[in-house]
């Protein structure tokens, strides 16, 4: 016969066994439930991805993204995240191809008196400022833009990221200027938080600005397609890629096949193949600036 103490120990052991068994069963059921839940999520995602990517609407895209966040298995997360990136990219492309915009921007000609032979950048900026009700001339901007020598006394070339390289008027040799000094110059006439320098970002950002009714200053090539005469200049700040075929225009619109631009050589709403233009724009460093509308 068990003693009182032994019976008490035995009861405690039995209770412990029951508790451990109960916890184990609960854990098993929890894991089983989680597994079934994950299987259901995977089935839902597989069904979503069976739909052709180009038929997915924006709401579908958001639903798929939300469902992926419910996954816990790392392999599944990686697998469906990669699939999601593909359909998201296709969706953005589809949305962009179906959109269009056209903005009426006043045209200025850099060759009108006073002639600015190298002044496409300041003339394009003047167009954009005029559109935003800033009364400024191309000549005023030409006089205000920061300039740097075409070549310094050590033989190093001027840096278009620091100022207009050489002569704006063309009375002496000159190259041009990149987005940095232009954005800075624009802040002399409008509040700095309205000047949006989106250089280095994708063309989708240019599309978004145009879609909101905001013309965009850009650097491209004079042929509006990639050129083969790019060269590297050694400057005090390091090597800079340039071409004497650089040009600046104001984008005024787009559709799925073309972009529309005010060319400071004297053509309003000139039609240019969209794919060729983007390739040239990217070759020139994807430089773009717009002025955000006031509310």
Residue 150, CA distances (Å) to 168, 174, 201, 210, 271 in order: 11, 6, 28, 34, 33
Q: Which residues pair with 165 in a beta bridge?
A: 148
Supply the CATH classification number for the domain 101-291: 3.90.70.10
Strands 164-165 and 258-263: unpaired
- What is the chain's mean pLDDT, rounded? 87
pLDDT of residue 257: 94
More confident residue, 87 or 56: 87
pLDDT in tens, 74-91: 888 888 788 777 777 666
- What confidence category does residue 15 fall into, taking pLDDT thresholds of 50, 70 and 90? confident
pLDDT of residue 290: 98
DSSP per residue over 185-231, as a string? Answer: HHTTTS-GGGEEE-TTS-HHHHHHHHHTT--EEEEEETTSS--S--E
Residue 94 has pLDDT above 80, yes or no: no
- Determine the average pLDDT of the residues in 94-105: 80
Residue 56 has pLDDT above 70, yes or no: no
DSSP class of residue 139? H
Alpha helices in the chain (DSSP H): 4-50, 58-68, 74-97, 120-131, 138-144, 179-186, 203-211, 274-283
More confident residue, 61 or 38: 38
User: CA torsion, points 92, 79, 30, 20, in degrees to nearest 10?
Assistant: -140
pLDDT of residue 52: 47
Residue 39, CA distances (Å) to 29, 74, 76, 85 in order: 15, 14, 10, 22
Alpha carbons 87 and 67: distance in angstroms, whole number: 14
Q: Are 168 and 145 in contact (CB under 8 A)?
A: yes
Which pTM does this prediction carry?
0.70
pLDDT of residue 20: 66
Residue 137, CA distances (Å) to 108, 133, 144 in order: 9, 12, 11
Residue 50 has pLDDT above 60, yes or no: yes
pLDDT of residue 227: 97
- What confidence category does residue 6 fall into, taking pLDDT thresholds of 50, 70 and 90? low
Q: SS3 of 182, please?
A: helix
Rg (Cα) of the chain, in Å, rounded?
31
Q: Are 179 and 281 in contact (CB under 8 A)?
A: no
Residue 42, CA distances (Å) to 28, 33, 37, 134, 258 in order: 21, 14, 9, 56, 41
Q: Which residues pair with 288 in a beta bridge?
A: 218
If you search the block for the tokens 């298995």, which residue do you land on?
73
- What confidence category does residue 99 fall into, taking pLDDT thresholds of 50, 70 and 90? confident
- Determine the average pLDDT of the residues in 265-276: 97
How many residues comprise the chain?
Answer: 295
């Amino acid at each position: 016969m068990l003693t009182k103490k032994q019976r008490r120990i035995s009861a405690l052991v039995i209770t412990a066994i029951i508790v451990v068994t109960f916890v184990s069963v609960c854990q098993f059921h929890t894991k089983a439930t989680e597994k079934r839940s994950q299987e259901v999520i995977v089935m839902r995602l597989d069904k979503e991805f069976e739909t052709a990517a180009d038929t997915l609407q924006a709401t579908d895209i958001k639903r798929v993204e939300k469902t992926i966040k419910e996954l816990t298995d790392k392999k599944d997360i990686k697998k469906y995240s990669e699939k999601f990136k593909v359909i998201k990219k296709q969706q953005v492309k589809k949305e962009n191809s179906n959109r269009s915009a056209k903005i009426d921007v006043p045209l200025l000609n850099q060759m009108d008196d006073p002639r600015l032979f190298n002044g496409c950048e300041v003339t394009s900026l003047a167009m954009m400022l005029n559109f935003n009700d800033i009364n400024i001339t191309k000549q005023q901007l030409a006089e205000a833009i920061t300039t740097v020598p075409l070549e310094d006394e050590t033989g190093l070339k001027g840096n278009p990221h620091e100022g207009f390289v050489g002569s704006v008027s063309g009375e002496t040799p000159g190259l041009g200027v990149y987005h940095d000094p232009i954005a800075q110059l624009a802040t002399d006439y409008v509040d700095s938080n309205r000047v949006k320098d989106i250089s280095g970002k994708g063309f989708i950002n240019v599309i978004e600005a145009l879609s909101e009714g905001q013309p965009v200053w850009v650097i491209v090539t004079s042929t509006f397609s990639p050129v083969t005469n790019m060269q590297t200049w050694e400057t005090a700040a390091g090597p800079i890629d340039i071409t004497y075929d650089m040009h600046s225009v104001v984008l005024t619109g787009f559709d799925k096949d073309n972009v529309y631009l005010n060319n400071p050589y004297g053509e309003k709403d000139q039609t240019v193949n969209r794919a060729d233009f983007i390739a040239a724009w990217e070759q020139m460093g994807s430089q773009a600036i717009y002025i955000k509308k006031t509310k």
